[in-house]
Structure 1
Amino acid sequence: MLKRIYHLGYAVEDLEVAARFYRENLGVEIEEPEEVEEQGIRAAMFRVGDSAVELVEPTCPDSPVGKFLRKRGEGFHHVAFEVEDLEAALAELKERGVELIDERPRVGVGGSKMAFIHPKGAHGVLTELVELPEKEA
């Protein structure tokens, strides 16, 4: 089912400040930030080999990332795995009784399809499944 680790998500209070840290201290190139209204976030990624790190800033305090920051502070938020067919993966997980946050795909960064597995269903780790658009796959 899983093709690779697509990205690790880091919740940050200020996307520009976090991006500057990685750019100036680790020499990475940060992609242009993108707002995903449905999720209440602004996100920007930088590549690390075949994977990436996604910096995620809430656009409103009541978004899931905003609530996460209030409760836990900045840091590791989720792991995202690339899958070939997200709808099939979700159906298979649901059939196996895995607790899902999203039973249907949503639109994610870069026009990807994405869905989350509940941390309760993945041993305490918020897990995102991502199906990339044809051009990125």
Structure 2
Amino acid sequence: MEQSMLGTKVITQIGIIVKDIEKVGASYAKFFGIQPPAWFWTDTREVAQTEYNGGPSEARSKLAFIDCGQLQVELIEPDEQASTWREFLDTHGEGVHHIAFVIEGMKEKLEILNGSGMPLIQKGEYTGGRYAYVDTFSELKVLIELLENDK
């Protein structure tokens, strides 16, 4: 059996694009019997160093996280700037945008995926690590997000 391209098969997160994070967050809270998740803005370009389709991007989004055991649901409400989030909402409407994996060796994993016809779409930094969205839609029917946390 071949080894995983990412070195893991554990999905840690499902990212869902929404138009109204407060409304959808309240629906998840009611469904799970929990408090509505707090949301926050992603960092500005200067902090996040966001790149979309190979160039700098001012894109930001509202994020809210709901922990469901070993899987996390991420709600994403994009701003109007060009990003994978905005493109998804404009093209597909609300719905599942990505599945995420925590990995080690971001540069190496991106090279492996790119060599398999799965190019980088968007990347950036967050407090404690970095993320990258990879276009795996034609093969996997969903995008993947790589999360690499600082040690």
TM over 0.5: yes
Q: Distance in 1 between matches of 2:29 and 2:140?
A: 32
Say whether 1:106 aligns with 2:124. yes
- By how many angstroms is 1:19 displaced? 0.7
Q: Distance in 1 between matches of 2:91 and 2:116?
A: 28
Structure with the largest fraction of helix:
1
Unaligned runs of 5+ in 2: 1-6, 45-49, 51-58
Unaligned runs of 5+ in 1: none
The percentage of counterpart residues that share the same residue type is 27
Say whether 1:17 aligns with 2:36. no
- By how many angstroms is 1:45 displaced? 0.6
Q: Deviations over 1:57-107 (max 9, x none)?
A: 01226433223222222111111111122222123333x33321248x521
Say whether 1:132 aligns with 2:149. yes
Q: Distance in 1 between matches of 2:110 and 2:27?
A: 36
Say whether 1:48 aligns with 2:68. yes
Q: Distance in 2 between matches of 1:107 and 1:30?
A: 26
Normalised TM-score (structure 2): 0.72
Q: Deviations over 1:13-47 (max 9, x none)?
A: 01111111111222245553232244421111111
- By how many angstroms is 1:121 displaced? 5.8
Give the root-mean-square deviation of aligned CA atoms.
Answer: 2.4
Q: Distance in 1 between matches of 2:140 and 2:101?
A: 16
Q: Across the two proteins, how many residue pairs are aligned to each other?
A: 131
Say whether 1:26 aligns with 2:29. no
Normalised TM-score (structure 1): 0.79
Moved more, 40-49 or 23-32: 23-32
Q: Distance in 1 between matches of 2:139 and 2:128?
A: 25
Residue 84 (structure 2) aligns with: 64
